[in-house]
């Protein structure tokens, strides 16, 4: 909870946002600290996607969050994740249904959808 308090202080100091309610703080604290999305922050704080992205990027710049990227298989499952897109594997294995049968296929990462997500930074690395 202490890191989320620091996060909230950082965003309210850097952005023209009202002080988050106790309910918003409670919902933020319930996020999976290892993986959350801009949409999670947007929905909880009731801001635009652009503002939520700014909030997350400020948190990255303040060493509160780490930005990561994941590549998704056509069915939406996560095939791989990395610190940056260029560190993703060039191909990933995805399960696909073909004529009612499940088959594993190797697909080129460049052809698949990538999604940015965030996680709380490990305070031990930044102290």
Tens-place pLDDT, residues 27-51:
877 888 889 999 998 998 888 999 8
- At residue 57, the pLDDT reads 92
List the chain domain ranges. 2-66, 72-116
**β-pairing, 101-108 with 78-82?**
unpaired
Average pLDDT for the chain: 85
Per-position b or e across 29-41, b if 16+ CB within 10 A of its CB: eebeeeebbbebb
Q: Which of 65, 69, 46, 75 is closest to 126 using CA atoms?
A: 65
Predicted model pTM: 0.79
- At residue 80, the pLDDT reads 98
Instruction: Give the 3-state secondary structure of residue 114.
Output: strand
Report pLDDT digits (tens) over 49-102.
Answer: 998 999 899 889 888 889 999 999 999 999 999 999 999 999 999 998 778 888
Name the phi and psi angles at 8, rounded to 5: -65, -40
Name the phi and psi angles at 120, rounded to 5: -65, 135
């Amino acid at each position: 909870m202490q890191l989320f308090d620091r996060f909230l202080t950082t965003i309210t100091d850097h952005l023209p946002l009202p002080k988050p309610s106790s309910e918003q703080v409670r919902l933020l604290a319930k996020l999976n600290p290892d993986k959350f999305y801009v949409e999670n922050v947007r929905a909880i704080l009731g801001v635009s996607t652009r503002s939520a992205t700014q909030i997350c990027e400020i948190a990255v710049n303040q060493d509160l969050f780490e930005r990561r990227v994941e590549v998704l298989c056509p069915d939406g499952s996560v095939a791989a994740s990395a610190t940056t897109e260029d560190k993703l594997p060039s191909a990933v294995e995805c399960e696909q249904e073909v004529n009612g049968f499940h088959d594993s296929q190797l697909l080129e990462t460049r052809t698949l959808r990538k999604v940015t997500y965030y996680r709380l930074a490990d305070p031990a690395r930044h102290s």
